[in-house]
Amino acid sequence: MPASAPTAVSAPGKVFLAGGYLVLDREYTALVFGLSARVNVIAQEIQTSQGVQLQEIVVASPQFLDSQWRYGYHLTPEQGGMLVTQLHVGAKINANPFVETTLSYVLTYIASVSPNKSALSLDPARLTVLADNDYYSQPHSMTGTEKNPTRFAKFPTPLKDANKTGLGSSAALVTALTAALLSHYLPTSVFDVSTEEGKRILHNLAQAAHCAAQGKVGSGFDIAAAVYGSCRYRRFSPSILKNLPEPGTAGFAPAVTKLVESAAWDYEISKEGVTLPPGVALRMCDVDCGSQTVGMVKKVLAWREQDVAGSKKIWDTLQERNVTLGRLLAEGKTKDIVPAVDAIRELIRAMGTESGVPIEPESQTVLLDALKDVEGVYNGVVPGAGGFDAVALLMQDDAATETRVKEYVKAWGKDHNGTVRLLDVKGEMEGVRREGLKEYGGWLT
C-alpha cells in the first residue's frame, strides 16, 4: 500500500509581555504574544517490508547530536490506555519526558476516539522535530549583527545541552507533537486543527500532557499561546487535572478521554483587542543565560503567602497597569508605551525586592534603560518569570531601527563581557497551523 503523505504542523513560541506571576491566580490575566519562531513536527509513516509488523514511533531532532528517541507502544489491560516504552538507540537511552509523556497521552486518546480502535491501526511513524533558530543561543556561530543563513541550524551539541533563549520551546514542542499525531492518525471528521473544536481538543490534551511531563500543574499560558497565538489569558482551575490516573494504569484511557472532551475547563482566551500598533514590532534580545524559573516561582509564591496584604496590593495594581498597556497597544497610542511599561517595570522590581527574587535583575534594568535611548525603541521588559532569559522590546518595525539596535547590543555585550543579540523573531498573532512540506526539504528521510 502506498505511503500516505507526511503531515506537517507548527506551533509558535511565546513572550509574556504582561502578567508574569499574576497568571498563576485565576483572579488575574496575562497578555501573551505568540512568536514567529515555531517548532515544526512532521509525521510520516515508517515503511516496513511485507509481512513485517512494527509498533514503533521514532522521534528525531536532527538539528542536534544524538537526539533521536525510539518508543514501542501497546494497549494495556483494564483500559489503561497506550503504554509507551523507550527503546535503546545504540548502547544508551536518553530520556525525554516531554516526548514520552506526550506520546502516552496522545496515543491513548487516539486509540479511544479512532473509528478503528485497535492498537494495530496505529501504524509505525517517524516524527521529525525542527525548531527555528531563535529558540537556542548560538554563540558558536552567531554574534552581533550576523544572521544564520538557514532556517534550521545544525548545533554541535545534544538537545539536552542546548542553551535555550526562553521562548517556550517545551510548550511549542508538546503542542506541535500533539497536533501532528492527531492529524496523522485521525480523519478530519474526528480532528481538524484548523477548527475551533479542533483547537479546543488540542489545547486540553496538550495541557494535560505538558503538566504531567513537568510534574506539576502550571498556569498553562505557554500551551494556550502555542495553540491560539497572541491572546489575553486567564488560567484554568488546577483541580481539573486532579486524580488523573497514570498512563498504563487502570482507567487511564476513559479518564483522559473524558478530561480532553470535558466542558469543565474554565480557562479564558480572548483575542479581542490583543494587537500591536501599525509599525510597532515586538522583538526579543538574547542575553545568552537562561533562568531557573521553577525556583523563582516558588520564592515569589512563598512571599505572597507571608505578606498577603502587601503582595495583593502590588498584584492588583500591576493587573491594572497590565490592562492599561494592552489597551494602549490596541488603540495605537505609541507615545504612551514608554510610561506605561515603566509603570509595570517599577512594580516588577518592587515584587522582586520584596520576594528576594531577581525578576528584573540589575544588569537587565541597566540594559533596558539604555535601550530606551536608542532611536526607534519604545521600551522593554524582562518577560514572564523574569531573570536572565531573553528580554522583550517594543520598537519601530523598520530596517533602520533594527540595525541601530543590533549594533548597540553588540557593543553592549563587548563592554559587559557577554553576548547580547537581537533575535530575528517577532511577535505575531497566529497559533498552531498546518504547514506545507517545501520548508523541510533535505530534513525528511
Residue 330: give the domain boundaries: 280-428
pTM of the predicted model as reported, rounded to 2 decimal places: 0.92
The average pLDDT across 218-240 equals 96
**pLDDT at res. 143:** 45
Residue 318: which of 338, 336, 298, 345 has the closest Cα?
345
**pLDDT at res. 351:** 96
**pLDDT at res. 147:** 56
Any idea which of 110-119, 165-174, 276-285 has the lowest mean pLDDT? 110-119
Confidence band, pLDDT 50/70/90 cuts, at residue 413? confident
In a domain? residue 2: no
The average pLDDT across 241-265 equals 95
CB burial of residue 215 (10 Å; 0-12, 13-18, 19+): exposed
Tell me, what amino acid is at 180? A
Q: With 60 as the cut, is the pLDDT of residue 290 above it? A: no
pLDDT tens across 48-71, in order?
655 445 689 999 999 999 899 999
Going from the C-alpha of 176 to that of each of 157, 433, 434, the distances in angstroms are 23, 9, 10
The average pLDDT across 221-229 equals 97
Both 45 and 151 in one domain: the answer is yes
Both 226 and 316 in one domain: the answer is no
**pLDDT at res. 390:** 83
Tell me how many domains the chain contains.
2
Q: Are 30 and 384 in contact (CB under 8 A)?
A: no
Both 355 and 257 in one domain: the answer is no
Please tell me what DSSP assigns to residue 46: P
Confidence band, pLDDT 50/70/90 cuts, at residue 430? very high
**pLDDT at res. 144:** 43
In a domain? residue 204: yes
Residues 6+ apart with CB under 8 A from 313: none
The average pLDDT across 107-123 equals 80
**pLDDT at res. 122:** 84
The average pLDDT across 277-287 equals 93
pLDDT tens across 11-41, in order?
999 998 999 999 999 999 999 999 999 999 9
Residues 6+ apart with CB under 8 A from 326: 18, 31, 232, 273, 274
The average pLDDT across 144-159 equals 76
Residue 374 grid cell: 536608542
The mean predicted confidence, pLDDT, of the chain is 90
Buried/exposed 6-36: b ≥16 CB within 10 Å, e otherwise: bbbbbbbbbbbbbbbbbbbbeebbbbbbbbb
The average pLDDT across 299-312 equals 95
Both 103 and 225 in one domain: the answer is yes
**pLDDT at res. 417:** 76
The average pLDDT across 205-223 equals 95
Both 266 and 284 in one domain: the answer is no
Both 293 and 364 in one domain: the answer is yes
Both 306 and 173 in one domain: the answer is no
